[in-house]
Every structure is written in structure tokens, then in C-alpha cells.
Structure 1
């Protein structure tokens, strides 16, 4: 038995990834499985060498996903950062240590890419997630802020021609 395997997502994985993203209280309110907007988003992620959409499989079944973004910067003497987002674990596999393995894998990918810092954001409505991230060594060193430019209920209009 080899256990979970990590790999780059393919377009065939997209429905299962979106289903994972929608499979919790917050995701259920903001995701719309089957929406064609996901196809465009996947194509953009897949075409960008600084993006890595990862899936975790076990026994041929997708049991987790996350997105890594490798961000160049000028501050901290040109330090690259790894950003971890969209972390989800299938409900049937939660609480069994898969999250820790996923983060260890993701942090190692950031090291391989030369990142000097790994960062993430977590919704304030997820106190358990925050405790988990702190157990991995993450520190709440900054106050994150967001400005929503679109709503989940209506897609953004196309840019002017």
C-alpha cells in the first residue's frame, strides 16, 4: 500500500476539484459546480508556470486538492513567496493526517522553487483551520484584507471591446 499520491491537476479533474471546494459550509455558498467559468480559470492556472494546482489521490479516488502560487517580489531582497490556497480534503478523509501531509508536500514544493516564505489566508469563520496552521508553524503575523470586485451570484461582465 503506497498511500496518497500528489500530482498536477488535469482538466479531467476539474469537476472533482470543484466538488471538493463546494463540500463545506463556506464553499457551498460560493461555488457552483458545473459553471463554465471554472474551465477558463483552470486554463489560466494551467498555462501559468507560477501556478500549481495539485490533487491528492488514493486508490484512484481524488481525496484532496490545493493551489500553490509562486510569487516573485522585490521586498525582502527579491524574495519569492509560496501562497497556499483552496485547500480541501474529502469529508471521508478528514481527521486522518492527510492535511498535514498535504502541507508538508506543499511547503517542500515551495522550497524546491526557491521560495523563502510560505503564506496563506484562512477565513475567520474557520478557527479549527487556524489552529491547524499554527500547529504547522504558521504565525498570524499580518492582518489580511480583501475587497470583493465580483459576486458569486453574477459573473463579471466582459471587458469593453
Structure 2
């Protein structure tokens, strides 16, 4: 694999990121990857771009977006006011899987959390993503909690 650059996403790369998010059975049902960016994606990007506690990172080689994740830094009162890093939306292009790119991307995020003074890094993964669970465990994450989500239907 070519040299990988990990950096914040650029507006012109958002379609590629949404395509990565939609590139599996779960994502196809949640995302709108029809070539045009839905205004909700642009609004979310602008909010993330304007908030230093959040960023979307991309892994790029030869001007092609091959991976992405969202990283958020969360203050909390529990654990003596400890900050947490929250990783979401980790995706690697099918063509780049199995080459260590996901590990490199997640490790970059972990290192960023350390630099920001976070005491832990957390993430969630859909229980149907069994390979993802094995991947995160291989990086030292433990399935220590049960997560719950409540969908709030919105008019779109």
C-alpha cells in the first residue's frame, strides 16, 4: 500500500466518506449515498468543523479516501472529571481491507486522545459486526459495557 496520510476530512471528500459509511449491509439502510450530499451531511460537517472537540479523519493514499472515522473529545464528571475519546464510524474501503489501514487509523485516534489528556478511549460497534469486535479486541479494547440506543424518528 502507498504512503497513507491521516488528516481531517476536506469538504470535497465528504461524498467519499458517506460512500464508505454506506458500503455494507448496515450502512446501506442508514446512509444516503446517491452521489449528491444531502444537506444534513453538510450541516453535520459544518458543526464538526467548527467545534474543536470533534473531527472526522480520513486515511488518504494517492488522493483516494480509503478510510475514515469520527473522533470526539468528551468531558465528564465521572471518574474524577476524566476526559474520554469517543471513536465512531470507523470504515475502510473494501479495496484496502486486511492491510493494516484500520489499525493505523484507530491507533492515530488513540494517540490523539493521549495527547489531549483523555483517560480512556471508547467506541461502540454494532453487535452484528463480529469481525469489527475481534479487530477492536486485538487492539486492546474490552467489551466492558452494554450499550443502548434509542432511535428518535425525524422528518427528513
TM-score, structure 2 as length reference:
0.94
Give the drift of 1:150: 2.2
What secondary structure is seen at the aligned counterpart in 1 of 2:132? helix
**Matching residue of 1:4:** 4
**Matching residue of 1:66:** 69
**Matching residue of 1:150:** 153
1-structure distance, mates of 2:2, 2:41: 31
**Matching residue of 1:78:** 81
**Matching residue of 2:111:** 108
Q: Does 1:29 align with 2:29?
A: yes
Unaligned runs of 5+ in 1: 156-161
Assess if the C-alpha contact under 8 Å between 2:55 and 2:71 holds in 1.
Answer: yes
Give the drift of 1:11: 1.3
Give the drift of 1:2: 6.2
- Over the residues paired in the alignment, what is the CA RMSD in angstroms? 1.3
2-structure distance, mates of 1:121, 1:12: 27
Give the one of 136, 140, 143 matched to 1:140. 143
Q: Tell me the matched-pair count.
A: 153
**Matching residue of 1:120:** 123
Assess if the C-alpha contact under 8 Å between 2:2 and 2:62 holds in 1.
Answer: no
What secondary structure is seen at the aligned counterpart in 1 of 2:7? strand
The ranges of structure 1 where at least 4 consecutive aligned residues each deviate by more than 4 angstroms after the TM superposition are none
Give the drift of 1:137: 0.5
Unaligned runs of 5+ in 2: none
Instruction: String of CA shifts for 1:42-99, please: whole Å, max 9, x gaps.
Output: 1111111100110110111110100000000111111000000011101100111111
